[in-house]
Amino acid sequence: MNKIALITGASSGIGEACAELFANEHYDLILTGRRLDRLENLAKKLNTKYDIDVVVSSFDIRNRDEVLSSLEGLPSKWKKVDVLINNAGLSQGLDPIQNGSLDDWDTMIDTNIKGLLYVSKVVSNWMISNKFGHIINIGSIAGKEVYQNGNVYCATKHAVDALNKAMRIDLLPHGIKVTAIHPGAVETEFSEVRFKGDKERAKKVYDGFEPLVAVDIAETIWFAVSRPAHVNINELIVMPTAQAAASIIFRE
């Protein structure tokens, strides 16, 4: 029987790259996100290419009832999750605190912190019953440093950093591994979402240097997941070579 990975935010970027990499490693997959068409296309592609089982569970991670009913409604076979990748997340806006949009703040806090918690509560209980599991939390360099105008996004990723440590302590007696991966700049839809569809502004974020790509992070996650049973990677910070710190990038 194949192992099972549940990936949140699998419709794009890092989550999509994880889906392909774990499929290649013969995992069956639970793919989640809001954009059902993308998830279904990805599921079809991975099922055909890698001969694995894929189930799509589409929900808005901010909606507590949707998260609980979608996950608890999965057939029992799918509750034997070996790896949970808490990846769904986003940044909205880049403004000084005094000008920040309350809606943007709510969106980031509800998605990056509360959504991650809703999924983690359900799946960690499955893992406790199963007596195995590995939770990967996707943090950010923004959870390790604070940069100008990053205020609330940085706060949400600092919360992920704290929750990663807290989960490891609480789940320790159950033998569940907990790992955070903290990326620097990765070229995905992230900046387009941050700048609300302004493609020109988003593109400028990656001008003049070579950013990470989603598969770099998927490979790092796989490294953590593929360690022997007695080894846990607590956290890794993964940066583009041209990025020394959140706001220090060497551009040609």
Cα separation of 216 and 152, whole Å?
26
Cβ proximity of 251 and 208 under 8 Å: yes
> Which residue carries 């089982």 as its tokens?
53
Among 19, 46, 52, 61, binds ligand NDP (CB under 6 A): 61
Check binding of 249 to ligand NDP (CB under 6 A): no
Residue count (the chain): 252
Cα separation of 161 and 144, whole Å?
8
Compute the least distance from the CB of residue 252 to ligand 8X3, in Å: 19
Cα separation of 50 and 120, whole Å?
27
Task: Choose among ligand NDP, ligand 8X3, none what residue 243 binds, the Cβ cut-off being 5 to 8 Å by kind.
Answer: none
Compute the least distance from the CB of residue 4 to ligand NDP, in Å: 19
Task: Choose among ligand 8X3, ligand NDP, none what residue 84 binds, the Cβ cut-off being 5 to 8 Å by kind.
Answer: none
Paired residues of 86 in beta bridges: 137
Question: In the window 98-137, what residues touch ligand NDP (CB under 6 A)?
Answer: 111
Q: Which is nearer to ligand NDP, 54 or 214 (CB)?
A: 214
Cβ proximity of 108 and 116 under 8 Å: no
**Running DSSP on this structure, what letter comes out for residue 212?**
B
Cα separation of 248 and 206, whole Å?
13
Kindly tell me the burial class for residue 66, based on how many C-beta atoms sit within 10 Å of its own C-beta (0-12, 13-18, 19 or more): middle
- Catalytic positions, please? 153
Task: Choose among ligand 8X3, ligand NDP, none what residue 93 binds, the Cβ cut-off being 5 to 8 Å by kind.
Answer: none
Cα separation of 210 and 2, whole Å?
36
Check binding of 45 to ligand NDP (CB under 6 A): no
Task: Choose among ligand 8X3, ligand NDP, none what residue 138 binds, the Cβ cut-off being 5 to 8 Å by kind.
Answer: ligand NDP
Distances (CA, A) of 5 to 123, 212, 247: 11, 23, 33
Compute the least distance from the CB of residue 49 to ligand NDP, in Å: 20
Cα separation of 85 and 176, whole Å?
13
From 12-20, 47-55, 92-100, 240-248, span contacting ligand NDP (CB under 6 A): 12-20
Cα separation of 171 and 205, whole Å?
38
From 68-76, 164-172, 189-197, 224-232, span contacting ligand NDP (CB under 6 A): 189-197
Check binding of 140 to ligand NDP (CB under 6 A): yes
Question: Could you tell me the two tokens for 250?
Answer: 């060497």
From 122-130, 185-193, 221-229, 240-248, span contacting ligand NDP (CB under 6 A): 185-193
Among 4, 6, 15, 21, binds ligand NDP (CB under 6 A): 15
Check binding of 64 to ligand NDP (CB under 6 A): no
Binding site for ligand NDP (CB under 6 A): 9, 11-15, 33-35, 60-62, 87-90, 111, 138, 140, 183, 185-186, 188-190, 193, 214
